[in-house]
Structure 1
Amino acid sequence: MDADLQEITRLWKVYRTIHQLCHDRGYLVSQADMDMDYEQFRTQFARNNVVDRSMLMFLVQKRDDPTEQLTVFFPDERSVGIKTARKYCEKMIAQGIRRGIVIYIKTITSSAQKVFAASSKKVEVETFQEAELLVNITKHQLVPKHVVLTPEEKLTLLQRYRLKETQLPRIQINDPVAKYYGLKRGQVVKIIRASETAGRYLTYRLCL
């Protein structure tokens, strides 16, 4: 397989996974985008066997709050720098979009990350390397189902078991599953595992 076809295959997998991720975070995403096959992707985005990454960019809205929007960017440079980071932040601010995800090819400079951090009061930008999204880790048979609790559900949990949140087991914010769901420090995730005796076994973890 030549380099162009390898890139098309890679981006097709990434494109499907990022749409599944957005869906799992509660955004409106079409089933067609989550299930898009290789030939459909190639026809739509890879004319002449070259993917136009600017066409991959998309905007989604939360199912329960259309005013909460998320933009996903696919920069075409192998190393994302300050210029691109500023461009994305400025675009989001101008359009009133609070959240963004940047999917980069190989690297993102520390200076670009500082731009995102400095803009965090106005926009929240997450970054994923393409390689992190080649497969949907939550669909792996060894990864149990994770459900992010709302603040109200978290409070109910702590009151029911008379716990302080610091008494809960922990999940690190850079854990691949935590990153997939966009967990923030202080959030609690419910983990549902199959159990031969009880049918299912529930545990809870606090993101730190």
Structure 2
Amino acid sequence: MNRPGFELPPRSWTNFKGFHEEVQNGVQAGSGPKLLGRRRRREAFGSAVLGKHQGLRISSPVQALDQIDYEYGMFAGHRSPYQGTGQRLLGTVCTDLEHHNFPHVFASVDLDLPLVISVGRYWPDMNKLFLADLWLPRGKALYVPPRPKLAGQRHIDLHGNRNSALACWKDIEQDSVRTRTLLQTDGGYFHWFWNELPTVHPLLK
């Protein structure tokens, strides 16, 4: 079994161009799997959940996207690339979300566990962030359209997959989860948002 806490194959966030900023005051509002079935609430975070035999037209600034298989360990959410902690794990799961100028698709393919993707909406003027978890059973996929940085945005829709293996913490029968991702690996530009406040995940209580 692979060591928990690291994405496989090794692909560091430093391989991508972008900038990161700290959200000084975060308000985390956790949510459970019911969010998966409420279309209006899902769309409020700017994403779309697809099931078997469903499809949609993907908008992309480039013609070629890369499909990559990842394996996330249950401690991946406890590692922060922003605070100079290196490979040392944090005691809590901090906020770590992003948006970028290319589409992102997260497919739930693990044989035993659902895939967890965190989504959020950030209001820069108020410096407030609202966060929820999407628990995707096997066969479901989350589509996040391109979200470039635009002048005058009142809010920004964000997402993050550092908590992909959150379901491992329920029974700890396995320490990692496999996932498949479609994204642009060359030429994309990321915007990261984070803070060190612990996030709330009600399904794990």
- Return the index of the structure with the highest Cα Rg: 1
Q: Identify the structure with bigger relative contact order (alpha carbons < 8 Å, sequence gap 6+).
A: 2
Shorter chain as denominator, the TM-score bin is under 0.3
Structure with greater helix share of residues? 1
In the superposition, the TM-score normalised over structure 1's length comes to 0.25
Structure with greater strand share of residues? 2
